[in-house]
Amino acid sequence: MLSSQSNKNILSLTEDLLVRVHEKLADEWDRKSFRLVCREFLRIDSLTRKHLRVLRIEFLLSLLQKHPQLQSLDLSACPRIDDGFVSLLLNRVGRGSNSLRWANWTLGLKSLALSRATGLRFSGFEMLARACPCLESVDVSYCCGFGDREAAALSCAVGLRELKMDKCLQLSDVGLAKIAVACLKLEKLSLKWCMEITDLGVDLLCKKCLDMKYLDVSYLKVTNESLYSIASLLKLEVLGLMACPLIDDVGLQFIERGCPLLKVIDVSRCGGVSLSGLISVIRGHGNLLELNAAYCLSDLSTTLLHWIKNLKHLEMIRIDGAKFSESSFQVFSTNCKSLVEIGLTKCVGVTDMGIMRLVSGCFNLRILNLTCCHSITDAAISAIANSCRKLLCLKLETCNMITEMGLCQLGSFCFLLQEIDLTDCCGVNDKGLEYLSRCSELSCLKLGLCTNISDQGLFYISSNCSKIHELDLYRCTGIGDNGIDALSRGCKKLKKLNLSYCNEVSDRGLGFIGRLEELSDLELRGLVKITGVGLEAVAAGCKRLADLDLKHCEKLGDLGFWALSYHSRNLRQINLSYCTISDMALCMVMGNLTRLQEAKLVHLRNVTVEGFELALRACCIRIKKVKLLARLRFLLSSDILENLHARGCIIRWD
């Protein structure tokens, strides 16, 4: 509590000074502490807040009234928002007047995230577009109801510079044309998985939006005709073409002669692209910064390496799945001194000597992916540790020849390391984790299938790696309750934890997990010792839990599920497959969890058809994806199935 004198000193500060102090707080926790000091500090925070992410739609109206100076509003966690709710948010009656006017919070809004808002239609989008005169960025990704009429309505926001429409499956060339004609200032556009978009729409877009700097048409069935159009974009810097099956080397020749400012290109998993096409891109764009050609090439030829030599400014390259020779590494080492990231997943021919040659010149590497490079040993890890002192991320999944000696080198030199993936590295043991714990900046550690580690190893990690927010212990069978206890004491910032099939973990361990207040993702699949008592402890303690996997936890009883339905109101995804949950408990879970969007409900042997029917009715207005046994397709009423489909819910029949 503040003393009386301290209160007087605070109250003597002017509003202008308090605003300036608030602007200096960059960390969210610092800002939270600021607004908890007193009512005046809370008022200053409300008045000056620029960004707001809303987790519960029922609080949205009051939050918008408190924060009139918003520039960025994220409603992606509110899938239930619809046209009627938008009308309520936007319109308000002036005091002493019968006239309607737009709410104040819209006037300065520049960025609006509406991804997965499947209830919004053209009327809602039009109201938002007209109410927000400064709107520059909109995200409508995964809005299954977003089609051509909605695009036409959104085009009223003529000042748009950034638009993300990933997986808007009803959007066609007609809707894209509406946006292209009206939003001439558009600079960044993502159309991934918009399967109805064709060459015609892309051509019109390129003719109208001449300021385009970022364009992603990944997964679309566009052809070389689209690349011909895209080549005319003189300001384009980033081009995403991932998994476009109909483009080939001819199309990339158009890119060679166009897009003079191109810096980043992604042609990964494009089956029609070969060595010739990549050479065309490199030949025409010597200033490339990033090149993603994963799973495009069978090997690196001397011709391609000759052209790669010219990429003096290259910072990132991914050539996953290609065949390497040791001389290939020397080319990168000698000529690509600016490399900060290289991806070599499943590359054939990656050896210790090759890695030694690579890091001898590319000592500025920050990210190195050696997933499934099975020939790598401690010698390569030692060379990496000695040369790449600024390394932030190292992925070594299934590199089985790495032992504690390699981890000793990393712990001795790579003090900035933030992420390491050691999944299925059977040579990793407790001693290795002791060495690795010297990397005190670690935030992500993946140890799945490392069966030689125990609670002692987790004790080393928790003693020195307090910044860890993601930990994967999938099938680490030597881990038990004491290890979880150590984690709960030393790794308070954990947000993602995977304990699936760690069979020694019991209710006592779950009690320790309940101490992790920031935990949002928890996987407990196959834990045969846990019961409803443990689940209740998790539900009561982990208020931020958003994703929970309880598949094959067959001893969980209704007690735990009742606690879950009461405490875990932020849950968005849940897997209850093979659990012994009853009709009543399932209805409570599906009905009370108002933010739930995805549920897997396979093989619930204690749940009847009537139980499923009631549970689905309880959540049908908000659920977006549900997995059910195939036989239920013929047992559930057509009414509930049609209702779910009408609201955009995807049902996966197992």
pLDDT band at residue 62, thresholds of 50, 70 and 90?
confident
651: in domain: yes
| Domain total in the chain | 2
409: in domain: no
pLDDT in the model for residue 99: 37
610: in domain: yes
Q: In sequence order, what DSSP letters do the residues of 134-185 get, joined into one string?
A: T--EEE-TT-TT-BHHHHHHHTT-TT--EEE-TT-TB-BHHHHHHHHHH-TT
What are all long-range contacts of 579-583, with beta carbons under 8 Å and residues at least 24 apart?
579/550, 579/551, 579/552, 579/553, 579/554, 579/604, 580/554, 580/555, 580/556, 580/605, 580/606, 581/556, 581/606, 581/607, 582/558, 582/606, 582/607, 582/611, 583/607, 583/608, 583/610, 583/611, 583/614, 583/615
Mean pLDDT of the chain: 92
- φ/ψ region of 447 (left if φ > 0, alpha if ψ in -120 to 50, else beta) reads alpha
Q: Give dist(CA 652, CA 654) in Å, integer.
A: 6
285: in domain: no
Amino acid identity of residue 575, one-letter, is: N
87-96, 216-225, 247-256, 597-606: least confidently modelled range: 87-96
For the chain, the distance separating the N- and C-terminal CA atoms, rounded to the nearest angstrom, is 57
pLDDT in the model for residue 419: 98
Residues 21 and 29: beta-carbon distance below 8 Å: no
18: in domain: yes
Instruction: Find the mean pLDDT for residues 534-563.
Output: 95
pLDDT band at residue 355, thresholds of 50, 70 and 90?
very high
pLDDT in the model for residue 322: 95
Place of tokens 């009386």: 4
pLDDT in tens, 213-245: 999 999 999 999 999 999 999 999 999 999 999
pLDDT in tens, 393-427: 999 999 999 999 999 999 999 999 999 999 999 99
pLDDT in the model for residue 97: 37
CATH of the domain at 15: 1.20.1280
Give the dihedral of Cα atoms 460, 462, 463, 469; nearest 10 deg: 130
653: in domain: yes
Instruction: Find the mean pLDDT for residues 466-484.
Output: 97
What residues contact 449, with CB distance under 8 A and at least 6 apart?
A: 423, 424, 426, 474, 475, 476
Residues 406 and 377: beta-carbon distance below 8 Å: yes
293-302, 412-421, 452-461: least confidently modelled range: 293-302
576: in domain: yes
Residue ending a domain, choose from 12, 33, 48: 48
pLDDT in the model for residue 146: 95
pLDDT in tens, 146-161: 999 999 999 999 999 9
Residues 296 and 270: beta-carbon distance below 8 Å: yes
pLDDT in the model for residue 4: 55
Q: What is the CA radius of gyration of the chain?
A: 27
| Closest C-alpha among 235, 234, 255, 236 to residue 244 | 255
Retrieve residue 422's tokens: 């050691």
The dihedral through the CA atoms of 552, 556, 562, 563 has a sign that is: negative
Domain limits at 12? 4-48
pLDDT > 70: percent of the chain: 95
pLDDT band at residue 45, thresholds of 50, 70 and 90?
confident
529: in domain: yes
Place of tokens 């054939």: 348
Instruction: Find the mean pLDDT for residues 257-274.
Output: 97
Q: Is the pTM higher than 0.85?
A: yes
CATH of the domain at 637: 3.80.10.10
